[in-house]
Amino acid sequence: MGADVLDAAGSVRASIGDRFHVEVAARKSYLDALLPVFTSRDVSSLFPIPRYADGQARLIYRPDARTTFEVGGLASSDATDRSTPSADPAQRKTESTTLRWGRVYARVRRENQDGSVVTVTPWVGADASTLVSRFGGTPASLTNDATLFGLRASWRGKPIAGVVVTTGVDAEAVSASIHRAGSVTSPPREGDARVFGQAPSDRVNADTWSAVVAGVAPFAEADVSLVNDRLHLLPGLRFDPYVISGSRRTPVEGATPSRPLRVDLVQHPPQRAPLARRRGVAALRFRSDARADGARVVPHRRPRTPVRGAYYDARNDTFEPVLGPQSSIRIPAFFALGVRVSKRFVIGASELENYLDVQNATNRQNPEELVYTRDYTRESAITGLPILPSLGARFAW
């Protein structure tokens, strides 16, 4: 188990006889509860404070050397509030997001006498996400509750010398219920041009609908060993058809078709800016029981729509932005340097590790969202956490 100023975590592993094994792990953040102890300022208006918790557990049963049964579960929750600081509470703009998900699975693995392996993993889960924005007199919210079912079955074997083949099928079904409440323009729909803090329309709107997405994807891949196992060729093929069904037809308007059911034989992912992170890690070991690590994180920048000007809406006493080309700019580059120094102590059969972890060691003000003044004449950014040293300990026995 371990703890620092950000969160606390613990894990337990145990064997029950020779055939049963149990593993349990959990983590919980408490930075949002710890900061008010040291300051009376509302720091959430200066930078977002993450709130998260997650856990997992699994039970493994091995009746013999070739067969394994496993059941397990995973759960996680994340919540973040982003605000623009303002001396006038009426002008403060806040966006809150929450995400909760859980999965329960069973897994059967069987090793055959010819060396092949058969694995079957059915699973079920639930997702729940919420977006609440308070940018004006009309609060807006978007909730998405989904139930998921899935199955993965695979066979892995060596039909001939030097060739390992894996083949199987992935099946997944998602049933989602979505509720949107606010104005006709807020919360924005996917693909809508938006600006953080933009006042919603005064025309109230609410909608509830559901959707089902299901697909079955057979796949096969091979690992061909060449040049005395020095070179490997890995060809693969996956056929990924899926079906989408909505709770209503698209209203026929002009040339817009009405399609209650859609079937695609091949899934084409949407063209979006990638959000994956590139991470480089460097480590220097001083002695066998002490070390220092450093890491930098430079994720891809998310696209945004620029503001070219604004006009005054006298009826609602608000300014409305004049937007430029959609998604033609990006949030400025993000860079974070982390440094960790640790020292381990062996106490009998136990181990104690003390560490100092410094996040954002350069104290860079990393932008997470572009924001504007009330009249859209000045642009600024909601920035992430400043330099954050954390002293913690980890104890294992």
Report which of 205, 172, 169, 167 is spatially closest to residue 189, judged by C-alpha positions: 205
What is the secondary structure of 39-63 as a DSSP string?
Answer: --S-GGGTS---EEEEEEEEEEEEE
- The span from the CA of 143 to the CA of 128, in Å, is 7
- The span from the CA of 342 to the CA of 293, in Å, is 9
Q: Which carries the bigger pLDDT value, residue 237 or residue 90?
A: 237
3-state secondary structure (DSSP) of residue 235: coil
Highest averaged pLDDT of the listed ranges 104-118, 264-278, 315-329: 104-118
Q: Which carries the bigger pLDDT value, residue 91 or residue 237?
A: 237
Q: Which long-range contacts (CB under 8 A, 24 or more apart) does 268-277 make?
A: 273/300, 273/301, 273/302, 273/303, 273/327, 273/330, 274/300, 275/299, 275/300, 275/302, 276/300
Per-residue model confidence (pLDDT) at position 253: 47
Q: Which long-range contacts (CB under 8 A, 24 or more apart) does 110-113 make?
A: 110/66, 110/67, 110/68, 111/65, 111/66, 111/67, 112/66, 112/157
- The span from the CA of 197 to the CA of 131, in Å, is 14
Per-residue model confidence (pLDDT) at position 137: 65
- The span from the CA of 364 to the CA of 386, in Å, is 7
Amino acid letter for position 136: G
Q: What is the pLDDT of residues 278-288, one digit of tens each?
A: 333 333 434 33
Per-residue model confidence (pLDDT) at position 268: 38
| Residue-range domains of the chain with CATH | 47-268 (2.40.170.20), 271-397 (no CATH)
Q: What is the pLDDT of residues 287-319, one digit of tens each?
A: 334 444 555 555 556 788 899 999 888 887 888
